[in-house]
Amino acid sequence: MVNRDLIEYRKQYGRHKLVVDKLMPDPIAQFRSWYHEAESAGVQEPNTMTLATVNEQGQPSIRVVLMKEITPEGLIFYSNFRSRKGREMERHPKAALNFYWQLIERQVRLEGIISKVPDSKSDEYFSTRPRGSQLSAWVSEQSKAIPSRDYLEEQLKDCQSRFEGKDIPRPAHWGGYLLTPERVEFWQGGEDRLHDRIEYSKQQGQWKRCRLAP
């Protein structure tokens, strides 16, 4: 049975236009500008992004994570190194990120190389996390099957007792990743689905721009 509600649902785009010559020559600088515009427009959690990785069989998987820093080299996020995404990025250090800011009809896609940030940087960020989040990093064997919710909560109680009255150090299995982009695409919603798509690709160490068909 055809779902008419989905088929007939339409949203008309067309807030802005993208002109290649008006974009910054560096895609990270351009991304930073768009990110601040998303913040100013009131987008909730504009640092929310979808992370795609691939396993040894070529099966992709995606999940939502939070970007924590924009650097000249790329974007930084944090996770459990032993999680599914951590294991996949260890074996295949390439990934893709996607930001979608519906409120301003914009999307940014980034593809590139994954590397771990220095331990000192991971330590610095971990020290800023709420205590509960620090404990969770110790407790969660991310992506592993566990017997029950009760098991998880018991692990948390044990961890709370272990670190009671103490600073909580960063666990060695948890830290930061840097995605260094090789390709970045900026998408702006357009009228009648004639969207604007501008792609940056790195060629011989230099960023080149071109317009893609929607």
Residue pLDDT, tens place only, 62-115: 999 999 999 999 999 999 999 999 999 999 999 999 999 999 999 999 999 999
Residue 140: the pLDDT is 86
pLDDT 10s digits, 17-40: 788 888 999 999 999 999 999 999
Quick check: pTM over 0.85? yes
pLDDT 10s digits, 109-166: 999 999 999 999 999 999 999 999 999 999 988 888 889 999 889 999 999 999 999 9
Q: Can you tell me the distance from the alpha carbon of 187 to that of 200, in angstroms, rounded to the nearest whole number? A: 12
**How many residues are present in the chain?**
214
What CATH code is assigned to 13-129+172-212? 2.30.110.10
Task: Catalytic residue, from 15, 91, 162, 193: name it.
Answer: 193
- Annotated active-site residue 149? The verdict is no
Buried b (16+ CB within 10 A) or exposed e, 7-38: eeeeeebeeeebeeeebeeebbebbeebbeeb
- Sequence-distant (6+) residues with CB within 8 A of 45 are 66
| Domain spans, the chain | 13-129+172-212
